[in-house]
Structure 1
Amino acid sequence: MPLFSIIVPVYNVERYLRECVDSLLSQTFKDFEIILVNDGSTDSSGMLCRQFQIGYPDIIRIIEQENRGLLMARRAGFAIARGDIIMTVDSDDKLRNNALERIHKVFQHHHPDIVCFEGGRDEHFTLNGSPMFDGERVFFSGNKAEILSRLCDTYRFNSIWSKAFSRRIFDAYNRYEQYEGLSFGEDLLQIVGLFDKAESFAYIPDVLYFYRPNPDSLVQKFNPKNYEDLMISRGALIRYASQWESRYPGHYMLTHVYMVNLWITGLLLQLAAGSMSHRDFVAFCVHVRGSEFFRDSYCCKRAVKLLRPDIRIVVISERYGLGVFIRAMSSLKNLLLGRVRS
Structure 2
Amino acid sequence: MPRFSVIVPCFKVQGFLAECLDSVLQQSYRDIEVIAVDDCSPDGCGAILGEYAAGDDRVRVVSLPENVGLGRARNAGMAQATGDYLFFLDSDDTLTPGALRATADRLAEADDPDVLVFDYARTYWWGGTRRNVLARVLTEAGPGTFTAAEHPEILELLMVVWNKVYRRDFVEREGFSFPPGYYEDTPWTFPVMLTARRIAVLDRICLYYRQRRQGNILSTTSRKHFDIHEQYERVFAFVEARPELAAWRPFLHTKMGEHCLDILGKPDRLPPGDKGEFFRRTAQLLRSHRPEGARIPAELRVLERGYAAYRLRHQAGRAGRELRRRAHKAREAAAGRLTRAGAAVRPRRPLDPQLVVYSAFSHRGVLGDPAAIHRAAREIAPQLRGVWVVRDEETAAQLPPDTEHVLLGSAEYRRVTERAAFLVNNVNWPGTVAKRPGSVHIHTHQGTPLKYMGADLLGRPGARHGLDVPGMLRRADRWDYSLVANRHSELVWERAYPCHFTSVRTGSPRNDVLVGAGPGDGAGFRQRHGIPEDHTVVLYAPTRRDYRRGGHVDRIDPARLARDLGGGHTLVVRLHPSLATGPARGLGLAELHRRGVLVDATDEPHVEEVMLASDALVTDYSALMFDYACLDRPIVVHADDWGAYAASRGAYFDITAEAPGHVARSYRELAWLFASGAWRDEEAARLRSDFRDRFCEFDDGRAAERVVRTLMLGEEMPPATRVPGARAVPADRDLLAPS
* TM-score range for the pair, normalised by the shorter chain length: 0.7 to 0.9
Match of 1:27, SS state, is coil
Q: Alpha-carbon deviation of 1:128?
A: 3.0
- TM-score normalised by L of structure 1: 0.78
Contact 2:176-2:192 at 8 Å conserved across structures: no
Rounded Cα–Cα distance in structure 2 between residues aligned with 1:315 and 1:238 = 19
Amino acid aligned to 1:328: Q
Cα distance in 1 between the residues matched to 2:168 and 2:189: 13
Q: Distance in 2 between matches of 1:80 and 1:334?
A: 52
Whole-angstrom distance in 1 between the partners of 2:73 and 2:67? 8
Q: Which of residues 297, 307, 316 in structure 2 aligns to 1:304?
A: 297
Q: Which amino acid aligns with 2:119?
A: E
Residue number in structure 2 paired with 1:203: 201
Q: Are the counterparts in 2 of residues 20 and 93 from structure 1 also a CA contact under 8 Å?
A: yes
1:71-104 superposed Cα distances (whole Å, 9 cap, x missing partner): 0100000000111111110000001121111111
Deviations 1:8-55 (A, max 9, x none): 000010111111001001111111011110001111111111111111
Q: Does 1:109 align with 2:103?
A: no
Matched, 1:257 2:243: no
Alignment of 1:171-320 (within 5 A): 171=172, 174=175, 179-180=179-180, 182-184=181-183, 186-214=184-212, 215-217=214-216, 220-227=219-226, 229-239=227-237, 253-271=248-266, 276-278=271-273, 280-289=274-283, 291-294=284-287, 296-297=289-290, 302-305=295-298, 307=299, 312=300, 315=303, 317-318=305-306
The structure, 1 or 2, with the larger RCO (C-alpha pairs under 8 Å, 6+ apart) is 1
- Could you tell me how far apart the structure 2 residues matched to 1:225 and 1:9 are? 20
Structure holding more helix per residue: 1
Give 1:9's aligned residue: 9
Task: Give the C-alpha shift of residue 285 in structure 1.
Answer: 3.4
* C-alpha RMSD of matched pairs (Å): 3.5
Q: 1:276 to 1:86 in 2, by over 3 A?
A: closer
Alpha carbons of structure 1 residues 42 and 172: separation in structure 2 relative to 1, 3 Å: farther
SS across alignment from 1:61: strand
Q: Give, in whole Å, the separation in 2 of the partners of 1:164 and 1:295.
A: 33
Q: Is the 8 A contact 2:194 2:245 kept in 1?
A: no
Alpha-carbon offset, residue 242 of structure 1:
6.6
Structure-2 change in CA distance of 1:333 and 1:283 (3 Å): farther
Please tell me the residue identity of whatever aligns with 1:206: R
Contact 2:120–2:208 at 8 Å: present in 1 too? yes
Moved over 4 A (4+): 123-126, 172-177, 216-219, 239-244, 246-249, 272-275, 297-301, 329-336
Q: How many Å separate the matches in 1 of 2:129 and 2:54?
A: 30
- Any gaps of 5 or more consecutive residues in structure 2? 327-739
- Bigger-Rg structure (1/2): 2
The structure-2 alpha-carbon separation of the partners of 1:217 and 1:122, relative to structure 1 and needing over 3 Å to count, comes to closer
Give the counterpart letter for 1:113 in structure 2: D
Output the CA distance in 2 between the equivalents of 1:201 and 1:237.
20
Matched, 1:146 2:141: no
SS of 1:20's partner is helix
Deviation at 1:198, TM superposition (A): 2.7
Structure-1 residue corresponding to 2:311: 324
Query: How many residues are treated as equivalent by the alignment?
Result: 317
Q: Which residue is 1:170 aligned to? A: 171
Q: Partners of 1:173 and 1:47 in 2: how far apart?
A: 36
Tell me by how many angstroms 1:258 deviates: 2.0
1:161 to 1:256, Cα distance in 2 relative to 1, 3 A = same
Determine if contact 1:6/1:35 at 8 Å carries over to the other structure. Answer: yes
